[in-house]
Amino acid sequence: MMLGYPYGWITAAGLFFLLIFALVLSSPVVIKGHLRRVGINDDAELNVRALFGLIRYRYKIPIIQFTGSSVEIKEQVSSSSAGINTWKQFNDDIDAEKVVNAIDKMKTILQMTRNLTGWVRRTLTKVRLDEWKWSTSVGTGDAMWTAMATGFVWSVQTSVLGILSQMVKLHAEPKMNVQPIYQQPAFTTEISCIAQIRFGYAILAGLQLLVRIKKVKGGVKAWQNILSKA
């Protein structure tokens, strides 16, 4: 009886930590996105919460301004982990050269990483979409052209939803609306969505990507060099 006493506590502790580990792996990573455009004003926000709120990340673009040949973006980034909060704010100008460089970087990454698109598709199949709302108002000042623009916008929204439904799991009825405005030229659109993926799936996907990166020449350093190029 005495000999089995410490082993009982060890077994109980092992089962406890196994339960905690299982809860962590099955906990959801919740992703909330919001995008809005009213006239010439734009704002976007992305919130990520993991491990029951212990890890939080927020990315916000409160201002997007077109300044001649470039786009000025004001960005805010905040994160919270293990009780430590960080917050950063900075401005960036995006011009044609930066767009071309970003496209070239993506092409290089696709070429040097084996079946990266396949990894993205398989990862997206583990994502569950819990909310999808997209509302748009459009007007041209002319009744006929407004009706045509309304039909075009509705076609775009349904096409996007169709593509999205092929990539992720829809767990809620999407809500979409296109409202014509016949009195004056106008355009507003607002998109909000909530998606989640199990923490265990997210970790597994990250490990799979890391393995793919290490198989290419240069491995992680090659990726870092590509992403850090001006």
- 139 touches 146 (CB < 8 A): yes
What's the token pair of residue 129? 């979409």
- 179 touches 136 (CB < 8 A): yes
- The tens place of each residue's pLDDT in the chain, 230 residues long, gives 444 556 677 787 778 788 888 888 888 999 999 988 876 777 888 899 988 888 888 888 776 666 666 666 666 677 776 556 676 666 666 666 667 777 777 777 777 777 778 888 888 899 999 999 999 999 988 889 999 999 999 999 999 999 988 889 888 889 999 999 988 888 899 999 999 999 999 999 888 888 877 776 666 676 666 666 54
What's the token pair of residue 55? 């890890």
* Residue with token string 């990340």: 57
**Cα-flanking dihedrals φ and ψ of residue 200, to 5°?**
-65, -40
